[in-house]
Structure 1
């Protein structure tokens, strides 16, 4: 045999049922794999001690113990060998326990050979090496999760470990913290990277259309079903299905989703037979799912199946060391080749002092808005408008505006005079009243700063350009010397 001839992957099958063990062996041999078999934990341990396997397939119940022990031992030995477990029909709890212990995946009895083949192929791709003469796999692309803070480095390391499993993952995090980015990163590092990644916003689908959207439908299944259509599960077959804002699913749909996840089969509306689907489920929500279970708005059994592995994303305020990296990446996307966006003095310090309730998404919005007001692509502190409303309220309380004084009228000739309403009365014309409130505040800020518009803008928490625009709109003119 040539030294360059690739060696077939070797699989260890551990099962005390001779008939099932033989069925698994034959199926794997037909796939071109080398197979060793063991009937007990003791036999399996002896084989593992002297042989390197690309996959271990074990039954949960063995004469001398549980297959779960094998899962934990292989995981504790820090081996990269994926372990899949065979569970009894209806033993969903055992499958979840195995996945939590570090199992790569599971398959239920009676074993469906099509699902077995898909699972084995997915497992072998984890440790696949290029055959002789083939180019090595392309280097991994840069992480979608930018930053070098300790918390983000730990998150990336955790994602690298999770990517090797097929266990369902529940991503928790505040709005704007990057839950979909994390899900895409898990998919990109997994053995399913070449297959589809489908992200679904569960809160954006009308309840009447949910079953059709998730599972598809046959032609003529209902009025308007002019053609057969695949659902999200079929579209993600072989890849990853992300259920974003999963807490928004109605209870009736939760039941159907649970069955699809457990059985790994779906039935299109109007079809008589189910079809197998091979998807990894990643769910995400900004809500506390455990609280939703307590309140009765989310099924406990579905929570148990989705929350096999929990991944928590840190808010931006806990990783402010990453602000410079994140800002550079966002500005590089906002700018053009000819016009680079530049941060003025003190901008990064001002951003560090902000709490970012909207996280990275809010940072993107702040920078995009600031760029619209910036002069020549240079963003200054005033362009950020951070906490503008609260700063204005702190510096300038908002009383009911009085009628303009003679001095005000001289400053803003032609501006409409609106009589303020009596206490507890409603204004007769709300738009004109609000304009008068805005004029009054701006005039007072200008008076306090002797009409220094830069200082007045800072006092109001807005940019110089915003103040200049508002003065023009409200016909506020600088008094003549």
Structure 2
């Protein structure tokens, strides 16, 4: 197979001579331009498979060459090189879609490796496919038998107003299932309100759910509606219901049985008008045996049951998920990347303990950190190794240093206090974030106690 045409642009003739002679010795057809005017004319009149350009040429820069090359033939790999790299030029090269960015002086073997990778990316780039309707029930994707069963249960549950219990591992999309039930139910025009049970401290759970009247406790300077009132007419979703404090479970049971609740400080109960859906990745029956979850509450929640399969049990859906996630991330980042065949096979074979959430985060990091073009098996392996280091075992003790505490609190602030969003930004599971936040609170309490003793 003949080697592709390469255009080499640099105002330093010694550079263009050295590079062109080296690439020609490796079988490439090389054309040289020593000023931007010649380069733009060549790009306008000929098609080059790969463009190698210096950043600082003359009145124009390599960034101008990059933009012109992309306008003439979108997807052309443009490799930029410079001896005066800066944060600004690097960022502009990345955002402009440069294939790679080389710092001078470089080893010719390193240059060849980048050229070969660009060559492979052109050969491997998949042809655009006709758009498929991959949306099923609010963004869930999958055509496997286990997912078809989930879709059927969603449709049947949507026709009812009974409580639904959704079971599944972390990251399988339990909230998507709950939202799909709501969106296809008679309550779809009313609010869907989710409460992350693990994110609410035990002492605040009652006021969070039932609400509180002014003066009902210290700091209650006004009436505060609970999530039952906020969701009136719609659906109330208890995520991670296994984390509901044991002392509150009896009151939650009474609410489910009587369809009424009493805000803190209220003299009389109020009627509720909500449909309740709950989800958990915990084994509730085992928790009942251990005395950590009320058996009668389990029965009251488990009227309609939906079990969401882990990704490893529906591997045939992985290619569709990858296609959709990759398309979304590439569109938002302005990058064009795709997986090499070996990487696609590795995606299919991986067990994905974090399920769809983990798959999405790995693809996001790959698109962000890797240059445009094909994503290799090695790049994927690096991200999966990073994932293994990111996720501690659920029962592993949480130790935090000052830097990590600051990072967690900063990200939580950026997420507006949304712990689910903060966990995604940090690349950790929500349960892990809750443990770290609990440790931060304990450390703060210990520091305060120490100050008091002094």
TM-score (norm 2): 0.53
| Residue 389 of structure 1: how far off its partner (Å) | 7.9
Map 1:11-410 onto structure 2 (within 5 A): 142-143=136-137, 144-336=139-331, 338-385=334-381, 388=385
Unpaired runs of 5+ residues, structure 1, are: 1-140, 393-481
Name the SS for the 2:236 alignment partner. strand
| Residue 142 of structure 1: how far off its partner (Å) | 4.5
1:372-429 residue CA offsets vs partner (Å, 9 max, x unmatched): 332115322222126538999xxxxxxxxxxxxxxxxxxxxxxxxxxxxxxxxxxxxx
CA distance in 1, matches of 2:267, 2:373: 61
**C-alpha root-mean-square deviation of aligned residues, in Å?**
2.0
Name the SS for the 1:158 alignment partner. helix
Unpaired runs of 5+ residues, structure 2, are: 1-134, 390-454
C-alpha contact (below 8 Å) 1:159/1:186 kept by paired residues = yes
1:88-131 residue CA offsets vs partner (Å, 9 max, x unmatched): xxxxxxxxxxxxxxxxxxxxxxxxxxxxxxxxxxxxxxxxxxxx
Structure whose CA Rg is larger: 1
Which residue matches 1:133? none
| Residue 224 of structure 1: how far off its partner (Å) | 1.0
C-alpha contact (below 8 Å) 1:175/1:359 kept by paired residues = yes
Classify 1:240/1:391 alpha carbon distance in 2 versus 1 (closer, same or farther; 3 Å).
Answer: closer
CA distance in 2, matches of 1:274, 1:373: 55
| Residue 341 of structure 1: how far off its partner (Å) | 3.3
| Residue 353 of structure 1: how far off its partner (Å) | 1.3
Which residue matches 2:445? none
CA distance in 1, matches of 2:377, 2:318: 15
CA distance in 2, matches of 1:236, 1:268: 15
CA distance in 2, matches of 1:272, 1:379: 63
CA distance in 2, matches of 1:212, 1:377: 52
CA distance in 2, matches of 1:295, 1:149: 36
Structure 1 ranges of 4+ moved more than 6 A: 389-392
* Number of residue equivalences: 252
TM-score (norm 1): 0.50
**RCO higher in 1 or 2 (8 Å CA, sep ≥ 6)?**
2
| Residue 285 of structure 1: how far off its partner (Å) | 0.7
